Structure 1
Amino acid sequence: MSDFKSILSSDYALEKQIGHLLRRAYQRHTAIFQKEIPDIDLTSVQFAVMTAIRKLGTAPIVQISHETAVDHATLRDVVSRLKKRGLVQIVQDKADRRQRLVSITPEGKELIEATIPVAKKVTELTLAPLDECERIAALHILGKLAISDS
C-alpha cells in the first residue's frame, strides 16, 4: 500500500478510504457472525445488548445505550424484540417512574452463555487473515478510534 500522504493527495479512491474499509470489514464480520451463531434470529447488535445487560445486571436503557454505543431509538427496538422472545424483561423503576429497567431472563442468560464461545470463534475468524502481531495492532488501533472524541 502507498504511504498515507500519497493516499490523501491522490485522486479519491474509495477502496483506500477508512470509512469504506471499516464498513467492508464490518460487513465481513457480520456475515461470519450470522453464519456461525447457532440462533439464526440473534443479530450481532442483539448479542451486544444482551452481553451488556448481563454485565450491568438490571440497568436503565440510557446506561445500556452508553455501554453498547447503540442509539436510544434503535436500542428500544432491540430491547422490544428481545422481550418478545422472552430473553429480557422490562420493569418500571420504582424510584424514577420515567425510567425503564432492563434485565436478562434465565432464558436470555442461557442463550448468552451458549453463544459466547461461538462469538469468540467469530472474532478469531474475523481476524484470521492477520498474523498475531497484526491482530494485536488492529484491535489496539480500532480501540483508539472507537473512543476518540475528536
Structure 2
Amino acid sequence: MTLKRQATALSSADAAPRDYVLEDQIGHLIRRAHQRASAIFDQVMEGFDVTPVQYAALAKLHDLGPTSQNALGRLVGIDPATMFGVAGRLAKRGFVSPSVDPNDARLVLLELTDFGRETVTAMKARGFEVSERTLAPLSAEEAQTLTHLLARLG
C-alpha cells in the first residue's frame, strides 16, 4: 500500500469512530427496548416466578398441545442446549411433563400438566398488559408498524 493510500485509510478510519453514536445503533436500541419489555414483564408477571423465555415456551406449548422439545425450541427461538435447560426447569417446577415420543424414541415430548395449564392461562390473561405497557409511548399506528417491522427482522 502506498503512503498516500495508507494516509487515506487512516483518515477514513479516524473519521468513522467520530461519526459513530452508540445511541443511534439498532442493536443498542433493540437492547434498550428489550430491557424495558423485560422489566415490564417482571412487574406484570410478578408472583409466577417465570422468565420471559420460560413463558414463551409455556405459552406456545399451550397453543400447540404436546410438542417435541426440539420443535418447541425452534418455534420460540431457543437453541437446543438452552431449550434442554428450560424444559428441565419447567418439569422440575411441575409445569410440564416430559415423555418419549411413541413415534420416535429420539424425541422428548413436552406436555403441560394441569398446574402448567392453569398457570399459563393466568399468565396469558396478563400477557396483553406487557405489550400494552411496553408500547405505551407509541401511537397505535406506530406500535403496529414497529411490531410488523420487528417480526420481519426476527
* TM-score with structure 1 setting the length: 0.88
Which structure has the larger Rg over C-alpha atoms? 2
Q: Which runs of 5+ in 2 are unaligned?
A: 1-15
* Structure 1 runs, 4 residues or longer, greater than 3 Å off: none
What is the correspondence of 1:99-118 to structure 2 with a 5 Å cutoff?
Answer: 99-118=107-126
| Residue 70 of structure 1 pairs with residue 78 of structure 2 | yes
Is the contact between residue 70 and residue 83 of structure 2 (CA under 8 Å) also seen in structure 1?
A: no
| Residue 127 of structure 1 pairs with residue 135 of structure 2 | yes
Write the distance in 2 (CA, Å) between the matches of 1:123 and 1:43.
16
| Aligned-CA RMSD value | 1.5
How big is the shift at 1:93?
1.4
Write the distance in 2 (CA, Å) between the matches of 1:52 and 1:46.
10
How big is the shift at 1:9?
10
How big is the shift at 1:10?
6.9
Aligned pair partner of 2:36 in 7, 14, 28: 28
Write the distance in 2 (CA, Å) between the matches of 1:143 and 1:129.
19
* TM-score with structure 2 setting the length: 0.86
Task: Specify the alignment match of 1:136 in structure 2.
Answer: 144
How big is the shift at 1:94?
2.1
Structure 2 counterpart of 1:115, one-letter code? M
How big is the shift at 1:38?
3.3
Structure 1 counterpart of 2:67, one-letter code? A
Task: Specify the alignment match of 1:60 in structure 2.
Answer: 68
Task: Specify the alignment match of 1:47 in structure 2.
Answer: 55
Aligned pair partner of 1:80 in 69, 76, 88: 88
Structure 2 counterpart of 1:73, one-letter code? A
Aligned to 1:34, the other structure's residue is in SS state helix
Q: Which runs of 5+ in 1 are unaligned?
A: 1-7
Q: Do the aligned partners of residues 110 and 127 (structure 1) sit closer, same or farther apart at CA in structure 2, a change above 3 Å counting? A: same
